[in-house]
Amino acid sequence: MTETLVVYVLSDSIGETGERVLRAAASQFEDYDIIFRRFPYVTGEGVLKQILDEAAIEADIVAYTLVVPGLSCCLEEYSIGKRFKTIDILGPVVNTITSISGWQPRCEPGLLHALDEDYFREVEAIEFAVKYDDGKDPRGLLRADLILIGVSRTSKTPLSMYLAHRGYRVANVPLMPEVIPPEELYAVDSRKVVGLMIKAEVLAEIRSERLRTLGLGRSASYAECSRICNELTYAMRIMEDIGCPIIDVTHKAVEETASLIIELQKTKM
């Protein structure tokens, strides 16, 4: 019985996919010793054959995730008569999808890694949105991809989170007559700033409902029309001073407003 297995993992990309699959399988044999050696970015036949020559000396298994045309065939042909066994990790799955659907694979290495990068970018953006929500730290404005400004209850936070899921690092700043906007807001490129406005009567109803939810009643100045009109006038003045685009969010869903913001950003790139 073999006491130790040596497994070579070859890939024309990073090789993480293959190694993860093999380690998952190896976990079923945790009482035994399995050694993994990963060889990433194998993109040429010369390098491939050198690795296989080494494998012929010490490897028991050569597993691979090769999508560059010709490399898999080269590996299998060159491995004939060698002491190790070969495992094609991706090939059977890709071939089955092709046979069922008729689709042709792109045969490009590293696509899954690109998806992973998108995922981590999204996670970073979400963390950013949480950290710099509601004007918590003005320094975040200097690092943001987008900055949303507006009075209370204009969907700044839901929009920030929605856009974060699209990979944008978003900060938002509430505008109130009693509070001077942070100086960082005037230091950034105005094209990154988007002002959110809303009709006064609609905002009054939204705020009244908010007060009812909190059990505070309708009498608080927060929902008074005069107070709201004063806030909106102040906010409009700030937005005009900055020179940023302004979107009326009245009766708009978060998704609709987010699409408008993304389109605005595309036209300014």
9 has pLDDT over 70: yes
What does each C-alpha distance from 160 to 125, 172, 184, 189, 254 come to in angstroms?
9, 7, 18, 18, 10
251 & 185 share domain: yes
* Average pLDDT of the chain to the nearest whole number: 89
- In the structure, what pLDDT confidence band is assigned to residue 142 with cuts at 50, 70 and 90? very high
50 and 124 share one domain = no
CA contacts within 13 A on the Cβ side of 120: 6
Domain total in the chain: 2
CB 171 within 8 A of CB 139: no
pLDDT of residue 109: 58
Provide the pLDDT for residue 68: 80
The whole-number pLDDT of residue 107 equals: 61
Predicted local confidence at residue 201, as pLDDT? 95
Over the stretch 32-83, which tens digit does the pLDDT of each residue have? 899 999 998 888 899 999 999 999 999 999 999 988 878 999 999 999 999 9
Q: Judging by beta carbons within 10 Å of its beta carbon (0-12, 13-18, 19+), is residue 152 exposed, middle or buried?
A: middle
- Residues 203, 224, single domain; the answer is yes
Which residue, 29, 7, 28, is CA-closest to 19? 7
> What was the pLDDT predicted at 2?
64
**What pLDDT, on the 0 to 100 scale, is given for residue 128?**
94
Alpha carbon 62 to its chain's center: 33
Q: Which domain holds residue 138?
A: 117-268
Asked whether residue 104 falls in the same domain as residue 130, the answer is no
pLDDT score for 219: 58
- Residues with Cβ within 8 Å of 180's Cβ and at least 6 positions away in sequence, in order, are none
Distance, in Å, from the CA atom of 101 to the CA atom of 98, rounded to the nearest integer, reads 5
Report yes or no on whether pTM surpasses 0.85. no
Instruction: Answer with the one of 78, 109, 140 that is the final residue of a domain.
Output: 109
DSSP 110-132: THHHHHHHHHHHHHHHHHHHHHT
Is residue 62 domain-shared with residue 136, that is, in the same domain? no
Is the predicted pLDDT of residue 220 greater than 80, yes or no? no
CATH of the domain at 86: 3.40.50.2300
From 109, 144, 165, give the residue that closes a domain: 109
Is 90 exceeded by the pLDDT of residue 181? yes
Out of 88-97, 131-140, 170-179, 237-246, least confident range:
88-97
Q: Which two tokens stand for residue 246?
A: 């302004």
Confidence check: pLDDT of 268 > 80: no
CA dihedral 234, 238, 240, 241 (to 10 degrees): 130
My answer on whether 71 and 142 are in the same domain is: no
DSSP secondary structure letter of residue 243: T
- The tens digit of pLDDT for each residue in 80-99 reads 999 999 999 988 887 788 78
